[in-house]
Chain A
Amino acid sequence: MIVGEQKSIEEIVELLGDARKVLVVGCGTCVTVCFAGGEKEVGVLSSALRMKTKLDGHPIEVDEATVQRQCEWEYIDPLAERLGEYDVVLSLACGIGVQAMNERFPQTLTLPGLNTTFLGLPEEQGVWEERCQACGDCLLGVTFGICPIARCSKQLLNGPCGGSQNGVCEINADVPCAWQLIWERAGQMGQVERLLVVQEPKNWSRSRDGGPRKIVREDLRLKEAE
């Protein structure tokens, strides 16, 4: 899932600038399950903003809304009629939601309340780790289900490097060596010799390196009425 975390309240207050009436909009999907921008988080931040700005002498009126998914037009369209009352919108969705709001409602500026960080999973409650880089050319099939693009600091295709020490990455002691994990899993499955196959250089043009990406599914597109 997309994992993000809230910006500091100081940064948010600075972003809001001279705005006097703000709508905080949350999202019910990824940012809810990483406890960054769901309905509860919208409530807490809105209350905190009201109190802090009042104490600081420039009170802001803060209203709240949460939509099911902020990245889809059908879910954000119902907000349209309310937006005229606000100076600015503060979105607690991921960067995609923030942009969707700005694209759909260009007359109202939507600001980001979160830093969208990575694609990952909750390793344990309260701890999220990066697992995917959306490289567009998944090679989990040859690395026994462990991704070296996301989990190897050097994104090696034929690791490990010489810096792998006791199963830990030389760049960051909190990071397990991805290739150690891959080799161990290969061993568990009795297929270590498959790792001897040299992986060709990756086609990075299918990743973000090739420019912003787009997928078109003609089979899913709505046909215009005849």
Chain B
Amino acid sequence: MSEQSLEPRILAFCCRHCAYAAADLAGAMRLRYPTAVRIVEVPCTGRVEVLEMLHAFEHGADGLMVAG
């Protein structure tokens, strides 16, 4: 099992009214972007805690975006 065969896992915390809406629009516009990203909707990026982000890495996330 080579490392190259594994997909990166990027977690994206997206705030409902801005980034999540942008992601939604990207879908509606049929824009292509990497499948590596996993989107998590939050009401506001202020909701995202350092501990939650660390746990994401502890459980194998390769990268993390906070978008808002």
List the interface of chain A (C-beta within 8 A of B). Answer: 40, 43-44, 47-48, 50-51
Question: B58 at interface (Cβ–Cβ under 8 A)?
Answer: yes
Q: What's the nearest-Cβ distance from chain A to residue B49, in Å?
A: 8
**Which of chain A's residues has its CB closest to B54's CB?**
A47
Q: Which of B49, B50, B51, B58 has a CB less than 8 Å from the CB of A51?
A: B58
For the complex of A and B, list the 3 residue pairs with the smallest distance between their C-beta atoms, beginning with the closest.
Answer: A47-B54, A43-B51, A44-B51
Per the bound structure, the CA–CA distance linking A51 and B58 in Å amounts to 6
Residue of A nearest to B55 (CB): A47
- Extra contacts, 13 of them, besides A47-B51, A51-B57 (Cβ < 8 A), are A40-B49, A40-B50, A40-B51, A43-B51, A44-B50, A44-B51, A47-B54, A47-B55, A47-B58, A48-B54, A50-B58, A51-B54, A51-B58
Chain B interface size range: under 10
Chain A residues in 8 Å Cβ range of B50: 40, 44
How many pairs of residues, A versus B, come closer than 8 Å at their CB atoms? 16
Residues of B within 8 A of A (CB): 49-51, 54-55, 57-58
With the chains together, A44 CA to B55 CA distance in Å?
9
Q: Is the interface of B mostly helix, strand, loop or mixed?
A: helix
A43–B51 Cα distance when bound, in Å, is: 7
Q: Majority SS of interface residues in chain A? A: helix
B17 → chain A closest CB, angstroms? 26
* Chain B nearest Cβ from A41, distance in angstroms: 9
13 pairs across A/B with beta carbons < 8 Å?
A40-B49, A40-B50, A40-B51, A43-B51, A44-B51, A44-B54, A47-B51, A47-B54, A47-B55, A50-B58, A51-B54, A51-B57, A51-B58
